[in-house]
Structure 1
């Protein structure tokens, strides 16, 4: 950036990302733009010329952490008045948050939402040249800007966004309000990005979207998500795995599962959030499928992909949910036999339909229901992991585990974590592992020839 050249120094930036993989992917593009502008990076806010918080609005806990971090930055700003502090991401897109930051966190210089991510260099230049605060949170359709630079983590894993926004308006979810309507990337651009990642040595590539199953509907080309998977599998050569998240059950189809089954590059892993096992609660959530439809989908997927690793998201304590309805969720967990769950006690998001619903159950009651859910899933996970002991599986060694007994970290085709005994030379490559032990959360094994 010419501004910093005039200052006679190389600036440093500290980028802190909260939330989902989509936020991680956005953060990597922000870092790419910063690097192109001449910034280097630090993990210490006190040492940074620019501090950027890339935020999540899905959970109340994440918002509290962001406000706490913003408050702490008053000290770094006081020590370095020229420091620029930025707030971006889903949380920043909410008018109520922007108002609070404008009034109560006056040391924050730049606020912009996901729609304006591609304009970040322009907005930052305004901060530096106008010497004033800049807010860009307009509710606009959103623009897909191809070709933005990316700074990715070194290793074997990479994220590729294929669709932005969401059209579903689940009653508990803030995402459609902060990320806008669904906008699919051009298939050729996605193929080019995946091809480039494989050439660079990435071997575990995850396709991202709030609902990947909606991919292509807005393009008018006739290509859907299953077709995109088939094209990547057939046209991108190399030894790699493709994963994806998240899928919405209302849009998941036998065609998708058949495509997964016949494409060797597509991992035998499916993250299919069901949220509740009770039909009344599902209707109140505006999920637009039933318990019966969900079971039909997962049973079909398991039939065409034996050994499929199945994970899901679950909310306990949705407004108005009774104990009996919460136990319907527990019974569905037992019936399906998920490999793992991402579990949450309902957290109200201002501006969503569910936030205005009566919610008579106490937090203590919800915690009891939640604990029953965890007990059920932990029992299932431990049993399924124990069944692996004595078997031999192919794994991708992705790094060090931090445990001297099992120094390597790896993942199976289905995404199961395997702590591995073997040479560090295996990091970054596929290997064969003999599973020797297991617990509720992971497998343990040794690399074999």
Structure 2
């Protein structure tokens, strides 16, 4: 059976029907059972007909219903007055965590803006807060929890997203709040619309096609890139590991990869919109394709074919077990002129005993073999890694082995994390290292890391760098060289999005400073002009014109508008066929 819009399965309001048809014509086919399991219906009392519901706007009483294959929760709330019209409110978004989470946040912002909501940077001015969470460490969840409390104190509508509510939706502090699951971000407009009306809805199901789990929402959804020059593409979700400390696995699940052709199309679309740098991200890029009969090198070779000259590709984190299977091919790819010679390979500990307790599925010798091979075959490569200090059972000797590894390899990029026991993980039940010991080990390793400067020997070099952003202090532009090493350059607007030649004259722990060569040519990548900051990607010219017209209407003395009160073209009205 072909995919059917939710409005064909059970009655919904006229406004909501517009949203539900948003990109229906592009959805993959699925069985009726699969569809019904993934639909979030709101059951009304005394309102059996859709036309009655739309005209009378009767009170809605959500009805809880158990699901067999997905966690489903529905809270009761009193509906707002009839004057609340979704699609005209201001929304403030906050995202914590990894590149994958940031990409999800960009997609949600794009869909909401395309529908007519205003994405604001002023939290106090917003009608609704959309909080996109990270569950990796306790501090990130603490910030998330505090933001929920603040939103409630300020009487804001709240929608929660990300790994925290996906992994543990029944936590007390989440009670009564709307949740959009990590694989349901293409339905964020529905959730926001119902939340603004006063309902609490939760979409936590998995995307499936003929019973097979998909990588997630479609890649060609509207998006607002935080940096119009950088596109973050999630190539897969989940992983194949079962690390005892990891809470993310509870949210993202097992490995599910996007097909190569969809990823290549997304890259091509991004370049057409002026992107000059693509980041490939996932929980483990090295495992890509194992669930669909392909591999990471196969994907990368297809992608480099479509990267324009002057644009660059950066590969995200990969764990040692899977990248080790493709070392020869990976070395060739990392030597490609349009691929950064950079790889992030977490080791977590240099003690085999600790790695076994973590269930990392490799030993220290395996990690060293990968690092040594890449350093030999890709001269100058930047290798980043992660280390956890104070994992349960870690002895002083275990820790000293980790210190020796850092002293030996002098990683230019090292992420040092104090261990935090995450609820529901096996490591949380293990005998814990005393808090003071964990803190001291974290300080000791940080001291070792800061004892060397990885870039001193590069002073005097002439490098070609790609300029993509502004520094945090707004004093410089930030560029990266062939090895994805950070180079600060003067703020000349003509440099942004371009490749320039610089002479390195200074270095710090995490950066170099470069002076543009006076007679050097500024190379412009063979791509289109970038979108403006805050502009929605993935729209046709007709849709983009409609979006701009709606924004202009908001500035004037126009009456409140709802989805049924104007005829400006919207993305959900577009039918490519």
- Per-residue deviation, residues 352-399 of structure 1 (Å, max 9, x unmatched): 11111111x32222222222211222223x1x2111111111111123
Q: Judging changes above 3 Å, is the alpha-carbon distance between structure 1 residues 439 and 196 closer, same or farther for their aligned structure 2 residues? A: same
Is residue 502 of structure 2 the alignment partner of residue 433 of structure 1?
A: yes
User: In the TM superposition, what is the alpha-carbon distance from 1:118 to its structure 2 partner?
Assistant: 2.7
| TM-score normalised by length of structure 1 | 0.90
The structure with the largest helix share of the pair is: 1
Q: How does 1:160-171 map to 2 (within 5 A)?
A: 160-171=233-244
Deviation readout 1:7-66 (Å, 9 max, x if unpaired): 397221111111111100000111111112211111222211221000001110011111
Question: Does residue 408 of structure 1 match 2:477?
Answer: yes
- Give the match for residue 348 of structure 2: 275
Q: Does 1:186 align with 2:293?
A: no
CA 279–240 in structure 1, closer or farther in 2 if over 3 Å, else same: same
Task: Please say if residues 418 and 442 of structure 2, whose CA atoms lie closer than 8 Å, have aligned partners that are also in contact.
Answer: yes
Of the three residues 182, 197, 214, the one matched with 1:114 is 182
Where does residue 368 of structure 2 map in the other structure? 295
Kept in 2: contact 1:19–1:56 (CA 8 A) = yes
Q: Is this contact kept in 2: 1:167–1:176, CA < 8 A?
A: no
Q: How does 1:118-137 map to 2 (within 5 A)?
A: 118-128=186-196, 131-137=198-204
Cα distance, 1:135–1:214 mapped onto 2, change above 3 Å: same
Structure 2 counterpart SS, 1:158: strand
Question: The residue matched to 2:458 in structure 1 has which SS?
Answer: coil
Does residue 142 of structure 2 align to residue 64 of structure 1?
Answer: yes
SS at match of 1:173: coil
Report the CA distance shift for 1:85/1:258 in structure 2 as closer, same or farther (over 3 A): same
Provide the C-alpha distance between the structure 2 equivalents of 1:25 and 1:192, rounded to a whole number of angstroms. 17
Contact conserved, 2:87 with 2:116, CA < 8 A, in 1? Answer: no
Whether the 8 Å contact between 2:179 and 2:191 is mirrored in structure 1 is: no
Retained in 2: the 8 A contact 1:295–1:336?
Answer: no
How far did 1:414 drift? 1.7
Q: Which of structures 1 and 2 has the larger relative contact order (alpha carbons within 8 angstroms, sep 6+)?
A: 2
Post-superposition shift, 1:139?
7.2
Secondary structure, aligned partner of 1:276: coil
Query: Which residue number corresponds to residue 466 of structure 2?
Result: 396
Is the CA contact 2:159–2:195 (under 8 Å) kept in the aligned structure 1? no
Deviation at 1:167, TM superposition (A): 2.1
Query: Offset of 1:265 from its aligned partner?
Result: 1.5
Shift in CA distance, 89/9, structure 1 to aligned 2, threshold 3 Å? closer
Q: Which residue of 2 aligns with 1:342?
A: 415
Larger Rg belongs to: 2
- What does residue 446 of structure 2 align with? 374
- 1:210 aligns to 2:280 (yes or no): no
Distance 1:364 1:6, change over 3 A: closer
How big is each residue's C-alpha offset from its partner over 1:267-297, in whole Å with a ceiling of 9 and x where there is no partner?
1011111100010001111111111111111
CA contact (8 A) 1:261 1:304 kept: no
Aligned length: 432
Q: 1:11 to 1:422 in 2, by over 3 A?
A: closer
How far off its partner does 1:185 sit? 0.5
Runs of 4+ in 1 over 6 A off after TM superposition: 3-6
Pick aligned residue for 2:231 from 132, 151, 158? 158
Q: Which structure shows the bigger proportion of residues in strand conformation?
A: 1
Name the residue aligned to 1:238. 309
Instruction: Determine helix, strand or coil for the equivalent of 1:98.
Output: coil
CA distance in 2, matches of 1:171, 1:443: 38
Q: Does 1:307 align with 2:380?
A: yes
Q: Structure 1 324/339 Cα, relative in aligned 2: closer, same or farther at 3 Å? A: same
Give ranges in structure 1 of 5+ residues lacking alignment: 78-82
Structure 2 partner of 1:7 = 85
Q: What is the CA–CA distance in structure 2 between the aligned matches of 1:215 and 1:120, rounded to whole Å?
A: 26
Question: Normalised by the size of structure 2, how large is the TM-score?
Answer: 0.71
